Chain A
Amino acid sequence: ILNVEQSPQSLHVQEGDSTNFTCSFPSSNFYALHWYRWETAKSPEALFVMTLNGDEKKKGRISATLNTKEGYSYLYIKGSQPEDSATYLCAFINYGQNFVFGPGTRLSVLP
């Protein structure tokens, strides 16, 4: 059983704060890691696809890093805005193309 964990489970921050959360995954047989943003009543939206150890990706105020040797990825949001409120999911994929989503981190940004 592939175990993908995310922490914290939920997070409340003030508008303008920067924040980060963690995705932990098996360090062996790594193929790719995806990050998705899932707003309530909508469907998950792809943020990043990361495949190489040491990868850093950025999209506006959101960025992500990847460490495949130790099995973790960080997602950072700089200057959080209320519209960033969503659940952020990571998904681990191994070479067998087994695709496992983490439970998500629910972010609430208070104005």
Chain B
Amino acid sequence: DSGVTQTPKHLITATGQRVTLRCSPRSGDLSVYWYQQSLDQGLQFLIQYYNGEERAKGNILERFSAQQFPDLHSELNLSSLELGDSALYFCASSFSGTANYGYTFGSGTRLTVV
């Protein structure tokens, strides 16, 4: 157990629907990062939050949004889902808002859009 908790582990939903993925960072970590791994693709950075504020943005679609709450857990909202959104979504956390520390990854949420 890495200390980063992601729920749910698996999610199957239909096209056009909206889902929320949840991440609780490791105790003491202030930053949360979201990554997407699609079939045959590497890990793609989506977005980072640090202590409640958006810190960096990667290749995140406009249909996707995220937030980090006062208790530091984060949610990634995916709407108007398409078949191509099927992927493994990872959350990672780190102590600082910069890359001076390695990131601790959760076990991921596998999203299947049918």
Contact = CB atoms under 8 A, between A and B. Distances in A.
Interface of A: 31-32, 34, 36, 42-49, 51, 89, 93, 96-104
A48 B102 CA distance: 7
Given A44-B90, A51-B100, 14 more contacts: A32-B98, A36-B102, A43-B106, A49-B100, A49-B102, A89-B42, A89-B43, A93-B99, A96-B56, A97-B56, A97-B99, A101-B35, A101-B43, A104-B42
Nearest to A43: B105
Contacts of B98: 31-32, 97
Interface in B95-113: 98-108
Contact of A34 (B4, B45, B102, B106): B102
A5 to B, nearest CB: 11
B99 A102 contact: no
Given A43-B2, A43-B90, A43-B105, A99 B45 contact: yes
6 contacts: A32-B99, A48-B102, A97-B48, A97-B55, A98-B56, A99-B56
B33 interface: yes
A42 B99 contact: no
Given A43-B90, A97-B48, A103 B42 contact: yes
Interface residues of B, number: 25
B48 A43 contact: no
A10 to B, nearest CB: 14
Contacts of A51: 100
In the A-B complex, list the 9 residue pairs whose CB atoms are closest, starting with the nearest.
Answer: A46-B102, A43-B105, A93-B99, A32-B99, A101-B43, A97-B56, A103-B42, A44-B105, A99-B45
Contact of B42 (A32, A43, A93, A102): A102
A57 B33 CA distance: 25
A51 B98 CA distance: 12
A104 B40 CA distance: 12
